[in-house]
Protein backbone atom coordinates (compact mmCIF):
# COMPACT_ATOMS: atom_id res chain seq x y z
CA UNK A 1 0.00 0.00 0.00
CA UNK A 2 2.88 2.39 0.92
CA UNK A 3 4.67 1.35 -2.29
CA UNK A 4 1.61 2.23 -4.36
CA UNK A 5 1.20 5.60 -2.60
CA UNK A 6 4.83 6.62 -3.05
CA UNK A 7 4.80 5.45 -6.68
CA UNK A 8 1.77 7.60 -7.43
CA UNK A 9 3.52 10.61 -5.83
CA UNK A 10 6.51 10.13 -8.16
CA UNK A 11 8.94 8.84 -5.53
CA UNK A 12 11.20 6.06 -6.74
CA UNK A 13 11.17 3.47 -3.93
CA UNK A 14 14.11 1.64 -5.47
CA UNK A 15 16.35 4.67 -4.82
CA UNK A 16 17.43 5.65 -1.33
CA UNK A 17 16.05 8.93 0.02
CA UNK A 18 16.47 11.19 3.02
CA UNK A 19 13.59 12.88 4.79
CA UNK A 20 13.77 16.43 6.14
CA UNK A 21 11.23 18.46 8.04
CA UNK A 22 10.43 22.18 8.15
CA UNK A 23 7.49 24.43 9.08
CA UNK A 24 5.67 27.54 7.74
CA UNK A 25 3.22 30.04 9.22
CA UNK A 26 0.64 29.19 6.55
CA UNK A 27 0.00 26.49 4.01
CA UNK A 28 0.41 27.43 0.35
CA UNK A 29 1.66 24.03 -0.81
CA UNK A 30 0.19 20.83 -2.19
CA UNK A 31 1.36 17.26 -2.28
CA UNK A 32 2.40 17.71 -5.90
CA UNK A 33 4.69 20.67 -5.16
CA UNK A 34 8.27 20.16 -6.31
CA UNK A 35 11.45 20.23 -4.24
CA UNK A 36 14.44 21.72 -6.10
CA UNK A 37 18.01 22.82 -5.55
CA UNK A 38 19.45 25.46 -7.90
CA UNK A 39 16.54 24.85 -10.29
CA UNK A 40 16.92 21.05 -10.43
CA UNK A 41 14.24 18.73 -9.08
CA UNK A 42 15.63 16.50 -6.32
CA UNK A 43 12.53 15.38 -4.45
CA UNK A 44 8.87 15.66 -3.54
CA UNK A 45 6.66 16.69 -0.62
CA UNK A 46 5.74 13.63 1.38
CA UNK A 47 3.35 15.00 4.02
CA UNK A 48 1.71 18.32 4.98
CA UNK A 49 0.21 18.49 8.48
CA UNK A 50 -1.11 21.23 10.74
CA UNK A 51 0.20 21.51 14.32
CA UNK A 52 -2.67 22.93 16.39
CA UNK A 53 -0.37 23.49 19.37
CA UNK A 54 2.00 25.90 17.55
CA UNK A 55 -0.31 26.99 14.72
CA UNK A 56 2.38 26.02 12.21
CA UNK A 57 2.18 23.91 9.08
CA UNK A 58 4.64 20.99 9.24
CA UNK A 59 6.06 19.78 5.93
CA UNK A 60 8.09 16.62 5.32
CA UNK A 61 10.09 16.36 2.09
CA UNK A 62 11.81 13.40 0.47
CA UNK A 63 15.17 14.11 -1.21
CA UNK A 64 17.50 11.82 -3.13
CA UNK A 65 20.19 10.49 -0.79
CA UNK A 66 23.14 11.49 -3.01
CA UNK A 67 22.26 15.21 -2.76
CA UNK A 68 24.38 16.63 0.08
CA UNK A 69 24.10 20.02 1.81
CA UNK A 70 24.89 21.43 5.24
CA UNK A 71 22.58 21.40 8.22
CA UNK A 72 22.56 25.23 8.10
CA UNK A 73 20.80 25.18 4.72
CA UNK A 74 17.27 26.56 4.45
CA UNK A 75 14.09 25.46 2.72
CA UNK A 76 12.53 28.35 0.80
CA UNK A 77 8.94 28.47 -0.45
CA UNK A 78 8.63 30.37 -3.75
CA UNK A 79 6.13 30.96 -6.54
CA UNK A 80 6.72 29.09 -9.79
CA UNK A 81 4.51 31.47 -11.79
CA UNK A 82 1.09 33.06 -12.02
CA UNK A 83 -0.63 29.71 -12.58
CA UNK A 84 2.09 27.29 -11.45
CA UNK A 85 1.52 27.40 -7.70
CA UNK A 86 4.32 27.19 -5.14
CA UNK A 87 7.36 24.95 -4.71
CA UNK A 88 10.19 24.38 -2.23
CA UNK A 89 13.85 25.07 -2.88
CA UNK A 90 16.78 24.01 -0.74
CA UNK A 91 19.17 26.96 -0.32
CA UNK A 92 22.65 25.59 0.51
CA UNK A 93 24.45 27.41 3.32
CA UNK A 94 28.02 26.95 4.53
CA UNK A 95 28.43 24.80 7.62
CA UNK A 96 30.67 22.11 9.10
CA UNK A 97 27.96 19.45 9.48
CA UNK A 98 25.97 17.84 6.67
CA UNK A 99 22.22 17.39 7.01
CA UNK A 100 21.16 13.83 7.88
CA UNK A 101 17.99 11.88 7.43
CA UNK A 102 15.28 13.21 9.77
CA UNK A 103 16.91 16.63 10.44
CA UNK A 104 14.82 19.76 10.86
CA UNK A 105 15.76 22.68 8.52
CA UNK A 106 14.86 26.35 8.90
CA UNK A 107 12.35 27.79 6.42
CA UNK A 108 11.78 31.12 4.66
CA UNK A 109 9.27 32.53 2.17
CA UNK A 110 10.29 34.37 -0.98
CA UNK A 111 8.04 37.28 -1.87
CA UNK A 112 6.62 36.65 -5.32
CA UNK A 113 4.56 38.70 -7.73
CA UNK A 114 1.18 37.68 -6.31
CA UNK A 115 2.31 38.16 -2.72
CA UNK A 116 3.79 41.58 -3.51
CA UNK A 117 0.64 42.72 -5.29
CA UNK A 118 -1.53 41.46 -2.45
CA UNK A 119 0.61 43.21 0.16
CA UNK A 120 0.73 46.52 -1.69
CA UNK A 121 -2.81 46.54 -3.06
CA UNK A 122 -4.23 48.21 0.03
CA UNK A 123 -1.71 51.06 -0.22
CA UNK A 124 -2.25 51.41 -3.95
CA UNK A 125 -6.02 51.42 -3.59
CA UNK A 126 -5.92 54.07 -0.85
CA UNK A 127 -3.59 56.29 -2.90
CA UNK A 128 -5.77 55.80 -5.96
CA UNK A 129 -8.82 56.83 -3.96
CA UNK A 130 -7.10 60.04 -2.80
CA UNK A 131 -6.05 60.81 -6.38
CA UNK A 132 -9.54 60.26 -7.77
CA UNK A 133 -11.03 62.41 -5.02
CA UNK A 134 -8.61 65.27 -5.82
CA UNK A 135 -9.40 64.99 -9.54
CA UNK A 136 -13.13 65.11 -8.81
CA UNK A 137 -12.67 68.23 -6.67
CA UNK A 138 -10.63 69.89 -9.43
CA UNK A 139 -13.32 69.19 -12.03
CA UNK A 140 -16.03 70.57 -9.74
CA UNK A 141 -14.09 73.80 -9.20
CA UNK A 142 -13.53 74.16 -12.93
CA UNK A 143 -17.22 73.64 -13.64
CA UNK A 144 -18.11 76.31 -11.09
CA UNK A 145 -15.73 78.75 -12.78
CA UNK A 146 -17.37 78.14 -16.15
CA UNK A 147 -21.01 78.06 -15.04
CA UNK A 148 -21.08 80.51 -12.15
CA UNK A 149 -22.35 83.91 -13.35
CA UNK A 150 -20.28 85.71 -10.70
CA UNK A 151 -17.02 84.58 -12.29
CA UNK A 152 -16.87 87.23 -15.02
CA UNK A 153 -13.14 86.85 -15.64
CA UNK A 154 -13.24 83.34 -17.08
CA UNK A 155 -16.43 84.04 -19.00
CA UNK A 156 -14.98 87.23 -20.48
CA UNK A 157 -11.80 85.42 -21.47
CA UNK A 158 -13.78 82.65 -23.15
CA UNK A 159 -15.95 85.22 -24.93
CA UNK A 160 -12.87 87.06 -26.21
CA UNK A 161 -11.37 83.78 -27.35
CA UNK A 162 -14.55 82.94 -29.27
CA UNK A 163 -14.56 86.40 -30.84
CA UNK A 164 -10.92 85.99 -31.88
CA UNK A 165 -11.69 82.64 -33.47
CA UNK A 166 -14.63 84.17 -35.36
CA UNK A 167 -12.47 87.07 -36.59
CA UNK A 168 -9.75 84.71 -37.69
CA UNK A 169 -12.27 82.57 -39.55
CA UNK A 170 -13.66 85.68 -41.31
CA UNK A 171 -10.17 86.83 -42.29
CA UNK A 172 -9.37 83.36 -43.59
CA UNK A 173 -12.54 83.36 -45.69
CA UNK A 174 -11.70 86.81 -47.07
CA UNK A 175 -8.22 85.67 -48.05
CA UNK A 176 -9.67 82.60 -49.72
CA UNK A 177 -12.11 84.76 -51.70
CA UNK A 178 -9.35 87.20 -52.70
CA UNK A 179 -7.12 84.41 -53.93
CA UNK A 180 -10.00 82.81 -55.85
CA UNK A 181 -10.88 86.10 -57.60
CA UNK A 182 -7.29 86.86 -58.55
CA UNK A 183 -6.23 83.32 -59.32
CA UNK A 184 -5.47 84.09 -62.98
CA UNK A 185 -3.50 87.24 -62.15
CA UNK A 186 -1.54 85.50 -59.41
CA UNK A 187 -0.77 82.57 -61.69
CA UNK A 188 0.42 84.95 -64.43
CA UNK A 189 2.55 86.94 -61.97
CA UNK A 190 4.15 83.79 -60.62
CA UNK A 191 4.84 82.61 -64.17
CA UNK A 192 6.41 85.96 -65.08
CA UNK A 193 8.52 85.87 -61.96
CA UNK A 194 9.76 82.38 -62.82
CA UNK A 195 10.63 83.55 -66.36
CA UNK A 196 12.43 86.62 -65.02
CA UNK A 197 14.38 84.51 -62.55
CA UNK A 198 15.42 82.15 -65.33
CA UNK A 199 16.53 85.02 -67.57
CA UNK A 200 18.50 86.65 -64.77
CA UNK A 201 20.21 83.36 -64.00
CA UNK A 202 21.10 82.87 -67.67
CA UNK A 203 22.39 86.46 -68.05
CA UNK A 204 24.44 86.16 -64.89
CA UNK A 205 25.98 82.90 -66.09
CA UNK A 206 26.86 84.37 -69.50
CA UNK A 207 28.29 87.53 -67.92
CA UNK A 208 30.48 85.48 -65.62
CA UNK A 209 31.69 83.37 -68.54
CA UNK A 210 32.46 86.49 -70.66
CA UNK A 211 34.31 88.24 -67.85
CA UNK A 212 36.34 85.15 -67.03
CA UNK A 213 37.22 84.56 -70.69
CA UNK A 214 38.22 88.21 -71.16
CA UNK A 215 40.34 88.19 -68.03
CA UNK A 216 42.20 85.04 -69.04
CA UNK A 217 42.74 86.42 -72.56
CA UNK A 218 44.24 89.66 -71.21
CA UNK A 219 46.39 87.73 -68.77
CA UNK A 220 47.64 85.48 -71.56
CA UNK A 221 48.47 88.51 -73.75
CA UNK A 222 50.36 90.19 -70.90
CA UNK A 223 52.40 87.07 -70.23
CA UNK A 224 53.18 86.78 -73.94
CA UNK A 225 54.43 90.39 -74.03
CA UNK A 226 56.60 89.78 -70.99
CA UNK A 227 58.05 86.68 -72.65
CA UNK A 228 58.79 88.68 -75.82
CA UNK A 229 60.48 91.43 -73.80
CA UNK A 230 62.65 88.94 -71.96
CA UNK A 231 63.55 87.26 -75.25
CA UNK A 232 64.55 90.63 -76.77
CA UNK A 233 66.70 91.47 -73.77
CA UNK A 234 68.32 88.05 -73.95
CA UNK A 235 69.06 88.51 -77.68
CA UNK A 236 70.68 91.93 -77.04
CA UNK A 237 67.97 93.98 -78.68
CA UNK A 238 67.14 97.47 -77.44
CA UNK A 239 68.98 99.60 -74.91
CA UNK A 240 68.45 97.22 -72.02
CA UNK A 241 69.53 94.25 -74.12
CA UNK A 242 72.70 96.03 -75.20
CA UNK A 243 73.44 97.11 -71.65
CA UNK A 244 73.07 93.54 -70.45
CA UNK A 245 74.76 91.73 -73.34
CA UNK A 246 77.28 94.19 -75.03
CA UNK A 247 80.61 94.00 -73.16
CA UNK A 248 82.12 96.81 -75.30
CA UNK A 249 79.43 99.27 -74.25
CA UNK A 250 80.00 98.32 -70.66
CA UNK A 251 83.75 98.85 -71.07
CA UNK A 252 83.23 102.28 -72.69
CA UNK A 253 80.88 103.36 -69.94
CA UNK A 254 83.33 102.20 -67.34
CA UNK A 255 86.17 104.12 -69.09
CA UNK A 256 84.07 107.28 -69.40
CA UNK A 257 83.19 107.06 -65.75
CA UNK A 258 86.88 106.72 -64.85
CA UNK A 259 87.87 109.72 -67.02
CA UNK A 260 85.09 111.82 -65.50
CA UNK A 261 86.33 110.92 -62.06
CA UNK A 262 89.92 111.91 -63.03
CA UNK A 263 88.68 115.21 -64.50
CA UNK A 264 86.83 116.10 -61.35
CA UNK A 265 89.87 115.22 -59.27
CA UNK A 266 92.12 117.42 -61.44
CA UNK A 267 89.57 120.26 -61.28
CA UNK A 268 89.77 120.16 -57.51
CA UNK A 269 93.59 120.17 -57.55
CA UNK A 270 94.17 122.74 -60.36
CA UNK A 271 91.15 125.01 -60.67
CA UNK A 272 93.25 127.76 -62.46
CA UNK A 273 93.55 125.51 -65.49
CA UNK A 274 89.83 125.76 -66.06
CA UNK A 275 88.70 129.14 -64.66
CA UNK A 276 90.45 132.53 -65.40
CA UNK A 277 89.42 136.01 -64.22
CA UNK A 278 90.39 139.08 -66.30
CA UNK A 279 89.87 142.58 -64.86
CA UNK A 280 90.41 145.94 -66.71
CA UNK A 281 91.17 144.29 -70.00
CA UNK A 282 94.12 142.33 -68.76
CA UNK A 283 94.56 139.18 -70.67
CA UNK A 284 94.56 136.14 -68.41
CA UNK A 285 97.37 133.68 -68.56
CA UNK A 286 96.91 130.44 -70.41
CA UNK A 287 98.42 127.14 -69.34
CA UNK A 288 99.40 124.02 -71.22
CA UNK A 289 98.86 120.46 -70.15
CA UNK A 290 101.98 120.55 -67.99
CA UNK A 291 100.88 123.80 -66.24
CA UNK A 292 103.22 126.19 -68.11
CA UNK A 293 102.03 129.66 -69.19
CA UNK A 294 101.36 129.99 -72.91
CA UNK A 295 102.61 133.26 -74.42
CA UNK A 296 100.15 135.04 -76.72
CA UNK A 297 100.92 138.43 -78.40
CA UNK A 298 97.31 139.17 -79.21
CA UNK A 299 95.73 141.77 -77.05
CA UNK A 300 92.52 141.20 -75.25
CA UNK A 301 89.59 143.67 -75.57
CA UNK A 302 89.26 146.28 -72.83
CA UNK A 303 86.38 144.71 -70.86
CA UNK A 304 85.75 142.73 -67.77
CA UNK A 305 85.26 139.12 -68.67
CA UNK A 306 85.33 135.68 -67.24
CA UNK A 307 86.67 133.06 -69.61
CA UNK A 308 86.26 129.41 -69.09
CA UNK A 309 88.71 127.33 -71.05
CA UNK A 310 88.98 123.61 -71.15
CA UNK A 311 92.18 121.85 -72.15
User: By CB neighbour count within 10 A (0-12 exposed, 13-18 middle, 19+ buried), where does 264 fall?
Assistant: exposed
| 91, 73 contact by CB (below 8 A) | yes
Q: So what's the pLDDT on residue 113?
A: 60
Q: Which long-range contacts (CB under 8 A, 24 or more apart) does 130-137 make?
A: none
Residues of the chain under the 70 pLDDT cut:
1-14, 82-84, 113-127, 129, 143-155, 206-211, 236-246, 275-311
- 9-37 burial by CB neighbour count: b if 16+ within 10 A, else e? eebeeeeebbebbbbbeeeebeeebbbbb
| Nearest alpha carbon to residue 245 among 254, 255, 232 | 232
Global pTM value: 0.37
Per DSSP, helices labelled H in 23-151 are: 113-147
| 101, 18 contact by CB (below 8 A) | yes
What is the crossing angle of helices 238-245 and 247-269, to 10°? 80
Chain-centre distance of CA 311, in angstroms?
Answer: 93
Helices and strands counted in the chain (H then E): 6, 11
Q: What is the pLDDT of residues 85-97, one digit of tens each?
A: 899 999 999 999 9
Amino acid sequence: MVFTFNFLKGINILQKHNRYQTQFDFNALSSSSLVTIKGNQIGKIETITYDDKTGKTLVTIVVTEDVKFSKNSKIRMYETGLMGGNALAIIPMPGPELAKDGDFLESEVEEGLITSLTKNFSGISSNLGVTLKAADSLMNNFNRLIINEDEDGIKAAIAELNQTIVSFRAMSNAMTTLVAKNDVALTSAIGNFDTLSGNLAEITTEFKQVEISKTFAELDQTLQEVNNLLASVKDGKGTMGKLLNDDKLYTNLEGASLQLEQLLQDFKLNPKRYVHFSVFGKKPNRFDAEGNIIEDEKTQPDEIRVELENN
